Amino acid sequence: MNYHDPLTGLANRALFYDRAHKSLARAKRDQSSLAILLLNLRDLDKVINQAGRNGGDRFLRAIARNFLEDLRDTDTIARIGQDQFVVMLENISRDEDIRNIIDKLIESANAPVTISGQELRCQANVGVSTFPADGDTVDLLLRHADMAMCESRQQGGNTFNFYEIDTRYTAGNCLLLENDLQQAVKNGEFNLYFQPQIDLRSGKIGGVEALLRWQHPERGTISPDTFISLAEETGHIKELGAWVLTEACEKFHHWLRKDINLGRVAVNISPFQLHDKHFLESIESIVKNSCLAPEYLELEITESAAMQNAGETIAILENLNRLGFSISIDDFGTGYSSLAYLKNFPIQKLKIDRSFIQDVDRSAPDAAIAKSIIDLAHNLNLQVVAEGVEKPGQARWLRDRHCDLAQGDYYSKPLSEIDLFGFIRISASATKDGEIRLI
């Protein structure tokens, strides 16, 4: 019990450390090499959402059995976190041999597991460090494997990385970025950009989406896709999210006072913020302090976030609606929406994910999906926004199918406040009634 993970029967962290210390001592004595592989299962929470706790446990047991089959008796595998495994390979020095084992492990992590008739699957990320090249203590080897894994995590599913000295300096490195993130809000390195949403009936701006930008003093602009997940993992998202809300509300109120009414400002809300027990009080006080009337604020929640813990989400959204905020579901079509939940969600808008818009005027399946989402939204009395509109053909297609709003580089990229005003001025002077662009 003290040395094994009760769920999978694999070694636990304590047993792993014990064996790793012994193996490392042996490797030093024999001048042999060893490798430490840290493996993270991506999207395990989605599997648990789909299959429930028990289903999730069965899934993990099946994956653990697969892993054991990939390894030799002399290798050690341990489960050291909910979705994290560590493997130690002794007497292995060739990168190619290590790669072969990683390939097998990733394949095992990907293998579908059928639970109660549902086929479930995960992806994996792996980070590798080796002795003697990357460290001479177990802790250091683990830390370096973790850095390499962080890098893989940012490269997407089913990727792996070997630790290299410059892993520490590459753009995606989590550990260094994490320290920087702590300071960044205080140092004023964050900025909000605004992307106009065009009302397709009137051709005017119907709203703007606030998008966060990090101007890192050494690394330049870092994309939110890189740092939002890091901020979520490290808990910084609450502070950062509060900053975004404050800034968006203050700016919008300031514009209204200058007689510039852009309809609404949409702010992206991370599931970590939404499910924080102080979120309601916090947003209520932020909006009150900014003097912005709540109906000008729209909260964007991604479809996959909304479906996590859907029962609880509905209750939170109802409270947000009660406070006067409107809610829109972001990246719609990419998560696993349950239509039963959608019916019960107190929401006002759906945003069609840009992957369906990309070829909407050329691909019959994409057109069918986009059209169905527009109809679904309208039948549920919701507005619908198309994301990622880049070409006039897409814009025309959407307008002809009565999509309400469109957003994308075709109209304007996300802009700084100054550029946004420039955009408004130019487009207002281009057409007599302030229409942005005639499609």
Q: Contact positions toward ligand C2E, by CB under 6 A?
A: 195, 211-212, 223-225, 228, 244, 268-270, 300, 330-331, 354, 387-390, 408-409, 414
Least separation, in Å, of the C-beta of 75 and ligand C2E?
A: 39
Pick the closer one to ligand C2E by CB: 56 or 196.
196
Rounded CA gap, 11 and 79, in Å?
6
For residue 96 the two structure tokens come to 């190619």
Nearest alpha-carbon partner for 277 in 238, 328, 318, 326? 238
Q: Per CB under 5 A, does 298 bind Mg ion?
A: no
Rounded CA gap, 93 and 132, in Å?
10
Nearest alpha-carbon partner for 118 in 53, 44, 59? 59
Rounded CA gap, 160 and 303, in Å?
28
Pick the closer one to Mg ion by CB: 23 or 268.
268
179 binds, among ligand C2E, Mg ion, none (CB under 5 to 8 A by kind): none
409 binds, among ligand C2E, Mg ion, none (CB under 5 to 8 A by kind): ligand C2E
Helices and strands per DSSP (H, E), number in the chain: 16, 16
270 binds, among ligand C2E, Mg ion, none (CB under 5 to 8 A by kind): ligand C2E
Nearest alpha-carbon partner for 146 in 84, 218, 189? 84
Pick the closer one to ligand C2E by CB: 5 or 300.
300
In three-state secondary structure terms, 298 is strand
In three-state secondary structure terms, 418 is helix
In the list 8, 76, 268, 412, the residue contacting Mg ion (rule: CB under 5 A) is 268
Least separation, in Å, of the C-beta of 168 and ligand C2E?
A: 25
Pick the closer one to Mg ion by CB: 12 or 229.
229
Q: How far apart are the first and last CA of the chain?
A: 68
Q: Single out the segment in contact with Mg ion by CB under 5 A; choices: 122-130, 257-265, 296-304, 373-381.
A: 296-304
Q: For Mg ion, how many residues bind (rule: CB under 5 A)?
A: 5
390 binds, among Mg ion, ligand C2E, none (CB under 5 to 8 A by kind): ligand C2E
Least separation, in Å, of the C-beta of 262 and ligand C2E?
A: 16
CB atoms within 10 A of CB 291: 12
